[in-house]
Chain A
Amino acid sequence: MNNGSVKYDESTLEMLDKIEFYPTKPPFKDKPISNARFNIFARKVEKIRKFLEEHKEDLHYQIRELRSFACSPGGLVMDEFRAQIWPILAENIPGPSDLLRDETESSCSDSDFESAVSTLSNFNEEETDSDKEEEKIKDVESEKVDDAVIVELPPPSEEDLKTHSEWNQVQMDVNRTLARFPPDITEFARKSLQTDLIPLIVRVLWENKNFRYYQGFHDICLTLILVLGVEDGYKVAKILSERSAFTNYLTGSLEKTAMVELQYLYVLLYKANMGLEKYLRGADLGTLFALSWPITWFSHSLDEYSDVVLCFDLFLSSHFLMPVYLGAALISEREDEIFRTEQEMPMLHGLLSHIPSTVDIGRVIERARDIYNDYPPLLATDHYRREYEKEVERDRETSRRMRQMRLPAETLKRKNILDLLKDPTVTAGIVLSAGVGIAYAYFKMSYG
């Protein structure tokens, strides 16, 4: 498999030319892994290309296949494919509030959307219930619209959009996105995209007066406009704002949405990498270091454009908690660095909030999917969460006792000793050691 001499279609090879896998083209001498990887991607390009040709007419009904392309190694491989497939994935995105119709279809995240989400919203807050209701109404309305004559209001003009209260903030954030553009883009193209991006974002906000822009939503829209262009970029941004995790971030407080989701980082790590979870908990790390992960789908913290789009392939086809799974996988991947870092919150926060470009995101995605399959949302948000909470409580109790035991002798007044004796584990310990002592003495007397 790992020689570079596999034959491919002309058109596939043409497409492969556009991908920057490596600075040089195969075959790579003495680099079997690079060759193997190139071959995997090349085969995938060929497969997707053929699939898209065969299903020109009915691509919308091929959601299962499309998701499986997007989630498997290499994702959708090329932006050319993404431009065609992302809108379809977005239309079918399994969001937190309209999961009923998707449970049988998803290939990436095969189970349990509905129950997982209902658990999360219980854990969450009342707000989401009303959101759900609204969402249902919206769904019904949109179905009606599908059947009836579509009367569309004219889109707001740019002058209208400029009156939006968030225009200035969006403009400021978009104007400082230089680092987010792929390196090969010309300055002219970049500036023109930035100019288009501001009204695109504000138009999404314009659609729903409950939307409150947050810094980071512009990162999402930027990725969409880069891959899809202005028109489809807007369509997908609108869909995502209406029925995905972003709906919650745009309407609710980040504390009660994203920060709550991020708590599952520790539940997952507890199951998948117990020692690491304990180390991070010992430092009282919290979850703020990871805030940008769910709310920007990692686009804020990844340096490589190709890594960002790979993440979007995955998230557009997965359960809305997938960014948390990816986060857990990423933390696991950086285990060695973490253990080498002082067990203190600031140091670990500094380390983890930046993702070095040496991290192999493809591999991290694989790992995230493994964690997902081993500990799916249904269990993570319910059973495992409770298990984890118990563990945290138990640990806290133990360290409380340890502290009590470690008090300097001089302060151990009679009262403390009496208190300690009331503690069943301490009493049991004393009784046990006394028992062992007596048994030993008896043994000595009888046989010694």
Chain B
Amino acid sequence: MEDYKYLFKVVLVGNAGVGKTCLVRKFTQGIFPPGQSATIGVDFMIKTVKVGEDKIKLQIWDTAGQERFRSITQSYYRSAHAIVLVYDVACQPSFDCLPEWLGEIEQYANRKVLKILVGNKVDKEDEREVPERIGKNFADANGFDYFLETSALDATNVDTLFQEVATRLTNDMKLTDERFHNFKSNENRDGNISILDRVLERAKCANCRT
């Protein structure tokens, strides 16, 4: 098995045609496929990135945007560490659907999931319908952890997006790890291993190796 410190599951959601697959392919394979066909169901890709000295494996699930597939793809939200909600800055309706997507995320994802809002296709500056400020405000008002605008076509912010996801998740995980170690060294003074210890250990494993 390949050597890595953490493995995180990232799920991309958002309306059909906003460029989810292109973002993933640009990031994982470095290509922008012209005429990328619609995603049916869920696609899966993997890429390892570095955060400091640590190797981090990102498992990226690229879901179909069409409403007809939603009930099928929801099951992938639950174990996600991060959810990237994508809209198209040149397509107002894809932005108007964001509250609906947020509802889905709140209903099906883990409460602590890292939420990221992405406005894609900034290369279409002439056709822009959603100003950056509006996107940013929406992200702030709705509890997103991070917002940025990208272009899978000219690679703007694509690496930044996934690097940021990896960094934030890694930092969170390290914090949890530290707390756990402190806790454990305190506990170990009297030589007992409590049930709580074991539960924590298990939770940690489940978190990093789902």
Binding site for B on A (CB under 8 A): 169, 172-173, 175-180, 212-216, 218-219, 253-255, 259, 288-289, 291-292, 295-296, 300, 342, 346, 349-350, 353
Contacts and interface: CB of A to CB of B under 8 A. Distances in A.
Nearest to A291: B41
The interface residues of chain A, by DSSP majority, are classed as helix
A216 B38 contact: yes
A53 to B, nearest CB: 39
The interface residues of chain B, by DSSP majority, are classed as loop
B14 interface: no
Contacts of A291: 40-41, 72
A215 B72 contact: no
A254 B66 contact: no
Given A180-B37, A213-B68, 20 more contacts: A169-B66, A172-B16, A175-B35, A176-B17, A176-B38, A178-B34, A179-B35, A214-B68, A214-B69, A215-B38, A218-B38, A219-B37, A255-B71, A259-B72, A288-B42, A288-B72, A291-B41, A292-B40, A292-B41, A353-B43
**9 smallest beta-carbon distances between A and B, as pairs:** A178-B35, A291-B41, A292-B40, A215-B38, A350-B44, A214-B68, A215-B66, A172-B17, A176-B35
B175 interface: no
B34 A349 contact: no
A407 to B, nearest CB: 12
Nearest to B195: A411
Interface in B187-201: none
A215 B59 CA distance: 24
B97 interface: no
Nearest to A176: B35
A282 to B, nearest CB: 16
19 contacts: A169-B16, A169-B66, A173-B16, A179-B33, A213-B68, A214-B69, A215-B66, A216-B38, A219-B37, A255-B72, A288-B72, A289-B42, A292-B40, A300-B40, A346-B44, A346-B59, A349-B42, A353-B41, A353-B43
A175 B16 CA distance: 13
A300 B36 CA distance: 12
A254 B72 contact: yes
B203 interface: no
A178 B64 CA distance: 19
Contacts, number: 74
A215 B64 contact: yes
A177 B35 contact: yes
A342 B57 CA distance: 15
A219 B38 CA distance: 10
Nearest to B69: A254
A215 B46 contact: no
Nearest to B66: A215
Interface in B1-19: 1, 16-17
Nearest to A217: B68
Given A172-B16, A215-B68, A346-B59, A288 B41 contact: yes
Nearest to A213: B68
Contacts of B42: 288-289, 349
A385 B115 CA distance: 41
A349 B44 contact: yes
Contacts of B40: 215-216, 291-292, 295-296, 300
A189 to B, nearest CB: 15
Contacts of B34: 178
Contacts of A218: 38
A289 B41 contact: yes
B31 interface: no
Contact of A353 (B33, B37, B44): B44
B208 interface: no
A295 B40 CA distance: 9
Interface in B48-103: 59, 64, 66, 68-69, 71-72
Nearest to B2: A342
With a 10 A CB-CB cut-off, give which of B17, B40, B43, B45 has the most chain A CB atoms: B40
Contacts of B16: 169, 172-173, 215
B45 A350 contact: yes
A406 B137 CA distance: 53
A215 B15 CA distance: 13
Contacts of B17: 172, 176
Nearest to B36: A176
A268 B44 CA distance: 25
Nearest to B39: A215
B39 to A, nearest CB: 8
A291 B44 CA distance: 14
Contacts of B44: 346, 349-350, 353
Nearest to A218: B38
Nearest to B209: A344
Nearest to B44: A350
B194 to A, nearest CB: 13
Contacts of A180: 37
A294 to B, nearest CB: 11
Contacts of B43: 350, 353
Contacts of A353: 41, 43-44
